[in-house]
A and B are shown apart, each in its own frame.
Chain A
């Protein structure tokens, strides 16, 4: 079984809004002190792929990323978690790609370097752009079915896969034939493993296969941006919170009870 997981390097999504700023010249966030990390749901996708490989008893997990040299770190993270190999697409002068440019590059690299694959995994959305588009678009380009909101995948009968997915108010299991695109969401059952120190060190010695974007067969029109960010701004926030005062917990709770009742919504 060959499982591909697409992973993106993003500015730490957990950084406090207080530290978040936009460079007015480039219209990009200022990196500042915030670290670059593997996108939250992509890390979960690696976990889900590894669990599927374990359930199947064998297989290969390949991590794929579009990004500059620094993105090697997220590929190493995936390998430290026990992904078998890694491919990075070097974007060169591409700049900040939109969803179509990203999906086209990933689809081309999958076809050129990583095919055949049984499952191509994605996080449900990137931790920076929050678009939730790339996995769906790769499926369109490769002509594959998609299962979204997956929380786990296991082998089914006759070579099919059973994908457990979250619905609005519960869980359902869908049966699907490979190859398929699966986008992953979080659940208590798929919290990413923490790699062992020795695996982190080993991952640093593993090779990363680098593919140059211009060398990939991407249709000319998909090398252009289809939707551009014309403006980026931090929304104004002038909110004042009324803090409950009082000498004791009881007094503060009483103040809160009064304040809540004063809202007249109960």
Chain B
């Protein structure tokens, strides 16, 4: 049973999840004993695909199937599904894995339905049992793990971001001439009416992207209001980090939705995650399992966040944050103004 890693690059270059996707695909191929393949679908000219194809080969794909068409550039998920429904069978693979970014998460189940394949999402681990794959994924908001077994000849699996590591071994040397196979898009894949974007509003571009932040100061319902988030922002500034939020804080309107961290928000992996007034619901923790160190400030000693944190402080955050901001600013010799303003 060969395994194909499906890389979606409608804008031309693949997203940041390619290494992790290949990491998962390597394990899946090992579990089945099959060959590892890759398929890249890109909104570029065919000639622009060479670097991506080479990268996928280095990451372990024995053969890279490439389909390019500039018309994919402003296609929606529906067009990608239509194209993949033709292309995936051409690779001969019976297992397809996709990165679980918003696009991949949308394409996976639809593609599975089209192919009559078993579908599994949010995969965090691959287990091989007698040449068969068990796809392990969190369920019940992360309170439990389910091992899912396909009951169809084909499977489409979507990988949870920021869980798998890049493959340990890389293929070296020149890429063999026959390693890259160009495919054409199936006829009609790009036709049909589709949703059209008529307006785009970027969220506040202040600070850095949560996904890239090395430090995140995150607030929950316990922060109590927008002023509280100002105090969090000052601490984040001193630490050179970004501000995040729980769902409760987003729903209250204290932080924009794109700052939500958790299962249905951003999945982050900072070196330091400071949770302020966050109870630590499993759905929130699902977004921070990749953090190296978690610090929790909460006035309730029983809050579940203390079971996920490494350092804990039981206190009303209002008493803690100005002091903490000041002392860290002093210790780090930075953000003096920001600290004084608090």
Pair A18/B109 contact, Cβ less than 8 Å: no
Give the distance to chain A from B188, nearest Cβ to Cβ, in Å: 14
* A62: Cβ under 8 A from any B Cβ: no
Pair A136/B150 contact, Cβ less than 8 Å: no
A87 to B230, CA, bound (A): 47
A134 to chain B: closest residue by CB: B109
A131 to B314, CA, bound (A): 35
* B34: Cβ under 8 A from any A Cβ: no
* A57: Cβ under 8 A from any B Cβ: no
Give the distance to chain A from B302, nearest Cβ to Cβ, in Å: 9
Pair B253/A188 contact, Cβ less than 8 Å: yes
User: Secondary structure of the A side of the interface?
Assistant: mixed
Given contacts A177-B193, A228-B148, A228-B149, contact A137 B113 (CB under 8 A): yes
A74 to B193, CA, bound (A): 35
Pair A250/B323 contact, Cβ less than 8 Å: yes
Pair A146/B119 contact, Cβ less than 8 Å: no
* A213: Cβ under 8 A from any B Cβ: no
Chain B count of residues within 8 A CB distance of the other chain: 91
Pair A230/B110 contact, Cβ less than 8 Å: no
Pair A253/B120 contact, Cβ less than 8 Å: no
* A99: Cβ under 8 A from any B Cβ: yes
Pair A169/B144 contact, Cβ less than 8 Å: no
Given contacts A175-B195, A232-B144, contact A259 B105 (CB under 8 A): no
Give the distance to chain B from A21, nearest Cβ to Cβ, in Å: 9
User: Which of A149, A171, A237 lies in contact with B307, CB distance below 8 A?
Assistant: A237
A242 to B307, CA, bound (A): 10
Give the distance to chain A from B321, nearest Cβ to Cβ, in Å: 9
A261 to B313, CA, bound (A): 15
Pair A20/B143 contact, Cβ less than 8 Å: yes
* A201: Cβ under 8 A from any B Cβ: no
Proximity bits, A196-210, B CB within 8 Å = 1, else 0 = 000000000000000
B81 to chain A: closest residue by CB: A140
Binds B, one of A63-71, A108-116, A160-168: A160-168
* B281: Cβ under 8 A from any A Cβ: yes
> With a CB–CB cut-off of 8 A, which chain A residues contact B292?
265
A11 to B62, CA, bound (A): 45
Pair A130/B258 contact, Cβ less than 8 Å: no
Give the distance to chain A from B91, nearest Cβ to Cβ, in Å: 21
Give the distance to chain A from B236, nearest Cβ to Cβ, in Å: 12
A185 to B209, CA, bound (A): 20
Proximity bits, B297-308, A CB within 8 Å = 1, else 0 = 000010010111
> With a CB–CB cut-off of 8 A, which chain A residues contact B201?
170-172
> With a CB–CB cut-off of 8 A, which chain B residues contact A127?
141
Given contacts A11-B140, A257-B331, A266-B215, contact A173 B198 (CB under 8 A): yes
* A60: Cβ under 8 A from any B Cβ: no
Proximity bits, B125-156, A CB within 8 Å = 1, else 0 = 00000000010001111011111111110010
Give the distance to chain A from B314, nearest Cβ to Cβ, in Å: 7
* B237: Cβ under 8 A from any A Cβ: no
B192 to chain A: closest residue by CB: A145
A187 to chain B: closest residue by CB: B257
> With a CB–CB cut-off of 8 A, which chain B residues contact A250?
323
Binds A, one of B44-52, B64-72, B179-187, B244-252: B244-252
Pair A234/B144 contact, Cβ less than 8 Å: yes
* B189: Cβ under 8 A from any A Cβ: no
Pair B78/A172 contact, Cβ less than 8 Å: no
Pair B251/A261 contact, Cβ less than 8 Å: no
A180 to B198, CA, bound (A): 17
User: Which of A136, A187, A254 lies in contact with B110, CB distance below 8 A?
Assistant: A136
A163 to B196, CA, bound (A): 10
Pair B144/A136 contact, Cβ less than 8 Å: no
User: Which of B119, B152, B196, B304 lies in contact with A17, CB distance below 8 A?
Assistant: B304
28 contacts between A and B (CB under 8 A): A18-B304, A29-B144, A130-B263, A137-B109, A139-B110, A140-B109, A145-B193, A145-B194, A169-B205, A170-B258, A175-B195, A175-B196, A176-B195, A177-B193, A188-B257, A226-B152, A229-B148, A232-B147, A233-B147, A235-B145, A241-B306, A243-B306, A244-B311, A249-B323, A256-B324, A257-B328, A263-B271, A265-B272
Given contacts A239-B307, A265-B271, A266-B240, 20 further A-B contacts (CB under 8 A): A15-B143, A128-B140, A131-B121, A133-B109, A151-B257, A170-B202, A173-B200, A186-B264, A224-B151, A225-B151, A227-B120, A227-B148, A227-B149, A230-B148, A231-B134, A232-B145, A234-B144, A260-B295, A260-B311, A265-B292
